[in-house]
C-alpha cells in the first residue's frame, strides 16, 4: 500500500464542476451563501473517491466524517447557470492527527476566484465517537 506522502504527491487535489441551480439562488439573483457548504461537500466526496474510498462505502463500514469547523470567505457572487470549479486539498499547515483532517478549498468561475474555504473533519463511528482515519485516506 502506498504511504501517505506518495498519495498526496500523486493526488495533490481533487476538483469537481458544479452548475449553479435555480433553486440555489436567492432574491438577489446570486447563489445563497448556505449553498457553498454543499459544494464543498461535493468536492470532498470526489476527493475520497479519487483515493478509492467512496463515502457511501465508508459509511457502510461505519467510517463517518463530521464537520467540526468550517470557514468560508465569499469574494464575488456566483449566478444562476454559472459553471464553477470547486477544488479541495489537504491543508499544509494542518497539524497531523489520527482523527482529524484539515482541508482547504477554492471556488472559481474560469479565472475568477469566487470563494475560499477551510474545514476540519473528524472521523467518527456510528455512535459519534472519534476513531482513527483509515490509512488510505490521509
Cell of 86: 470547486
Distant-in-sequence, close-in-space partners of 31: CB < 8 Å, separation ≥ 6: 20, 24, 25, 77, 78, 79, 80, 82
Q: What's the min distance (Å) between Cβ of 118 and a second copy? A: 9
Closest to a second copy by CB, 13 vs 45, is 45
Interface residues with a second copy (CB under 8 A) are 21-23, 25-30, 32-35, 37-38, 41-42, 45, 54-56, 59, 64, 66-74, 77, 79-81, 128
Closest to a second copy by CB, 31 vs 90, is 31
Q: Any alpha helices (H) in the chain, and if so which ranges?
A: 4-10, 36-50, 55-60
Q: What's the min distance (Å) between Cβ of 132 and a second copy? A: 19
Distant-in-sequence, close-in-space partners of 56: CB < 8 Å, separation ≥ 6: none
Q: What's the min distance (Å) between Cβ of 33 and a second copy? A: 4
Amino acid at each position: 500500500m502506498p504511504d501517505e506522502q506518495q498519495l498526496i504527491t500523486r493526488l495533490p487535489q481533487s476538483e469537481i464542476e458544479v452548475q449553479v441551480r435555480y433553486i440555489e439562488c436567492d432574491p438577489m439573483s446570486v447563489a445563497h451563501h448556505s449553498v457553498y457548504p454543499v459544494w464543498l461537500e461535493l468536492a470532498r466526496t470526489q476527493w475520497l473517491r479519487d483515493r478509492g474510498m467512496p463515502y457511501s462505502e465508508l459509511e457502510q463500514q461505519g467510517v463517518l466524517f463530521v464537520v467540526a469547523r468550517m470557514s468560508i470567505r465569499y469574494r464575488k457572487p456566483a449566478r444562476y447557470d454559472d459553471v464553477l470549479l470547486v477544488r479541495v486539498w489537504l491543508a499544509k499547515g494542518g497539524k497531523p492527527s489520527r482523527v482529524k483532517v484539515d482541508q482547504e478549498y477554492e471556488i472559481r468561475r474560469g479565472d475568477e476566484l469566487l470563494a475560499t474555504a477551510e474545514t476540519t473533519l473528524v472521523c467518527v463511528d456510528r455512535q459519534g465517537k472519534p476513531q482513527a482515519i483509515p490509512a488510505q485516506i490521509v
